[in-house]
Each structure stands twice: as C-alpha cells, then as structure tokens.
Structure 1
Amino acid sequence: MELVRYLFDNFYTKNQLLDKANVDEGRLLELQDLEVMPRASYSLEISIQCDSFFGAYEASENSEFYSRGYLSWVNILLSLEKVEDAKQIFKDRYCQQLESLREDGIYSNNPKLNSELELTLDSEWKYFLDGTYGLCTKNGLPEQIASKEISILIASDFLDCGLIDGQGRKKLIKIIDLLDDVSSYFAPHERASSSRQKYINELRLRYDLISLSGKGNP
C-alpha cells in the first residue's frame, strides 16, 4: 500500500526511535506524560488475513510513527537537568527562526507573530506535542514550524488576489519556496486537502510560478 510505504520511508516507528535514541519505552511515555515530548503523528492498525493448507490465520498490529526530527528532540530532553525547560527551548528556537527570516526579508505584520506572539507560541507548543507538526513539516522541529506558520500567513494574503505585479511575484515565489522546503508531502489520502496543495500547488498554478530552485507547477 502507498500509505504504508510513505510512512516507513519518511518516519521512524516507535521502536526505531527508541533504538536510535537508546531509550526505553517507559522513559518515552514518561516524557510524553510530562508534556515535553511529542506524541506519534500517525497510528497505523494493520490487519492480516491468511489462508493456507493449515487453515485460516488472522492477526493485527498497531504501529506508531514519529517524525525523524524527533530523534534530536529526544536527545535534547535527555541532556536537560530539568525537562520543564524544554518549552522555553522550543519558544527560543521558534523566535530565533522568525528573526533569521526577518533578516532575510521575510516577515509578517500579522498580530499572531507580533502582539499575540506569546499566545501563538503556546498554541504552537500544543500542536507540537500532539504530533501535528510531525505530520505536516518535514522534521517537526521549531525552525520548520516557524517557517511554515509565517509562510502560510503571507501566502494567505495572495489567495484572494487578482493580478500581482513583478515585486509581488518575486515575494510569492520566495514564500512558496520556503514553504515547499519545510512542508511534508503528506500521506496519500491527505494530499488533496493539505496545506501543500492549497498554498504551494494551487498558488503556483494560479500565478504560473517557477520557483527559484526551478520547481514549477505540479
């Protein structure tokens, strides 16, 4: 199945994550219960039915899939004297990415990233912990989360636009390229309604855009 292939190609199973982080399942669950470690982005129930000379056989297995970027986050948590510091580390890295993007000319005046930034950070932390950003960004880490948020805020302004001038096209290409760099490709059943479809594929098609890296319409 294409879904199964996508998950195994792009994520770690829980056992793979545990092995690579050299941590046991109990410690992982403890970190999740302490609300410092993201939960799985996908849970897959696989049922098997087999019939042979020996008769019918049925089995089922549940597998959890984690963003591969979470390996580095586990290692950070294991190095902390107080795991409660993890939330501030997340916020600091998120804000540092916003500042880095601003220096590159990418910024938004939307209140979510200005006067309401602290509320946004608390909200982003919750999405991070429930595994949402492990699903919709390539590594699930604060830098890509910040890049995705600001890209979508800016790209949204172009959804209801008509014609755009040369400067507008250059800005939009830069924003879509950034979003393309950090956005996951999504599982097959999610793609048609995904943010990648809405803010990357459809905007490139609408404005006939070629990215700075040479990518064009889907």
Structure 2
Amino acid sequence: MEQNFTYINENYITEAELCNIANISKHKLDELIKNQLITQHSYTVSRTIRITSPLNDEFENEITEKYFSKNCISLIEKNKELRDTHQYKEEFKENFIRHLMNHPHKHFAYDSMFKNSFPEQEKLNEIFESEWAAYCNGIYGICTLHSTEEEIVKKEIAVKKLIHFNTQLSDKKLTDDESEELIKLSEEFNEVAQKFAPYQRKSSSRGKYLDKILEENNLDYLVKKY
C-alpha cells in the first residue's frame, strides 16, 4: 500500500493542489472537466482515519482524495477562458490524426487498419472518439507521461509492436539481433509510457508486454524500477 501511495503522491497532484496552483475554485475545475477542457482525475485514494482515546471512545472517518495528472496545470492555463468548448476537442482531433498519419509505423496501429489501404474517415472518427473518451476519463494520465496527442499515438504503436514481437518470440530464447530489437522497442515504449502504480503494473501493458519478456531474457536491468 505504501509503495502505491508514494508513487501516486510523487507523480500526481491532488484536487486541492491543482486548484491552488492554477488559482481556480473547485467549482471552476468541475466546470472545466464537465466541458471536457481538462481531463478527469486519474486516481482516487481513500483512507480510513480512526481516532481513539483513554475514554474508551472512538471516531472513524473516510478521507477521499482525487489525484490528477500534472499536465492538467497547463491545460487549465490554456483552456480556462475558452468560450467555445468544442474548439479544444477539434484541435486535439486534428493533432491526433496528423501524428497518426505521419507516423512511419502506423500500420501497427488500431488493428492494422493502415496495412492494406487508407482508412475511411468514418473509421478514423470512431478511433478518435474512443481515444478522446479515454483521454477525458483520465486514462492517459495513467498510461502516458504527458497525455499529449503525440504520446497517445506513439504508445498505441509501441504497444502493438511489442505485442507483435511477443507473439512471434516470447516462447523462444532470443538471438543477439532479437535482443537488440527488444531493447529498441523498450526505448520506444519508455519514451512515452508511465511506470504505472505498483498494484497495476503486472496487468498493465508494461507488465504484460515488456517487463515479462525482458525478465525472461536476462534483460532485467531494463525493467523500470520505482
């Protein structure tokens, strides 16, 4: 428990801290979240406080704190006076699609939709809406370092490349060339991906597709430590 809380406390900020740094009220923060101008919190931490005394009495209360990605600070500065609530989403979509279309390994992304043909606009729209929903829900505050459009695209491709590598090679001893390829894939992933909280590490994309195969091939020194 302590390791999880330490990780979250060091890498995220509470709702109160966010409001204080950005100099806005909680009401204004809620309004920005509702209008999808900043993301939801990424973690919720609840703790039970129990107080006792020699009078044989006790008091118990649960304290709940929301933890936000630190990139929300700059998002608030950018969007807190934005009147057109659709403008930010449209800019985000434009940047997301541009980064996706320009990525040299885009054929790995989103069920290999680029493999044989250029995807229809409707399909691109569907993918963006799915990613936008995850972004607004605070998921990319957990998965990526800065929750940017570029990082979302890069992480999608890095994960899919790791899955492809694992599918082909996870049950065999890697050659030197294959180990070098894995090291490069690890670097690509680490360029954009968070470590994830300790309790979720094993089930995360990092735990399933990177940590495991590194450990199996005596490359433990590349596993990100806390």
TM range (shorter): 0.7 to 0.9
Q: After superposition, where does 1:71-150 map in structure 2 within 5 Å? A: 71-98=73-100, 101-102=103-104, 106-109=105-108, 110-111=112-113, 115=119, 116-150=123-157
- Superposed CA deviations along residues 143-196 of structure 1, whole A, max 9, x for unmatched, are 222211111112111121136777655544323212123222222211121111
Q: Which residue of 2 aligns with 1:159?
A: 166
Q: CA deviation at 1:63?
A: 0.4
The 2-side partners of 1:99 and 1:80 are apart by: 28
Q: CA deviation at 1:201?
A: 0.8
Structure 1 unaligned blocks of 5 or more: none
Structure 2 residue matching 1:23: 3-state secondary structure = coil
Q: Is structure 2 residue 32 aligned with structure 1 residue 31?
A: yes
Query: How many pairs does the alignment contain?
Result: 211
Q: CA deviation at 1:198?
A: 1.3
Amino acid at match of 1:28: L
Partner of residue 189 from structure 2, selected from 179, 195, 200: 179
The 1-side partners of 2:215 and 2:19 are apart by: 42
The 2-side partners of 1:150 and 1:17 are apart by: 31
Q: Is the 8 A contact 2:36 2:85 kept in 1?
A: no
Amino acid at match of 1:17: L
Q: Is the 8 A contact 1:151 1:175 kept in 2?
A: yes
Q: Which moved more, 1:113-122 or 1:162-171?
A: 162-171
Q: After superposition, where does 1:174-213 map in structure 2 within 5 Å? A: 174-208=184-218
Structure 1 residue matching 2:202: 3-state secondary structure = helix
Q: What TM-score comes out, normalization by structure 1 length?
A: 0.83
Q: Which residue of 1 aligns with 2:63?
A: 61
Amino acid at match of 1:160: T
Q: Which residue of 1 aligns with 2:17?
A: 16
Q: What TM-score comes out, normalization by structure 2 length?
A: 0.80
Amino acid at match of 1:216: L
Structure 2 residue matching 1:3: 3-state secondary structure = helix
The 1-side partners of 2:127 and 2:175 are apart by: 31
Q: CA deviation at 1:80?
A: 3.1
Amino acid at match of 1:134: G
Structure 2 unaligned blocks of 5 or more: none
Q: Is the 8 A contact 1:50 1:56 kept in 2?
A: yes
Q: Is structure 2 residue 10 aligned with structure 1 residue 4?
A: no
- Superposed CA deviations along residues 114-157 of structure 1, whole A, max 9, x for unmatched, are 61433211111000011111112222232222211111112111
The 1-side partners of 2:41 and 2:89 are apart by: 18
Q: Which residue of 1 aligns with 2:222?
A: 216
Q: Is the 8 A contact 1:70 1:141 kept in 2?
A: no
Structure 2 residue matching 1:111: 3-state secondary structure = coil
The 2-side partners of 1:90 and 1:43 are apart by: 26
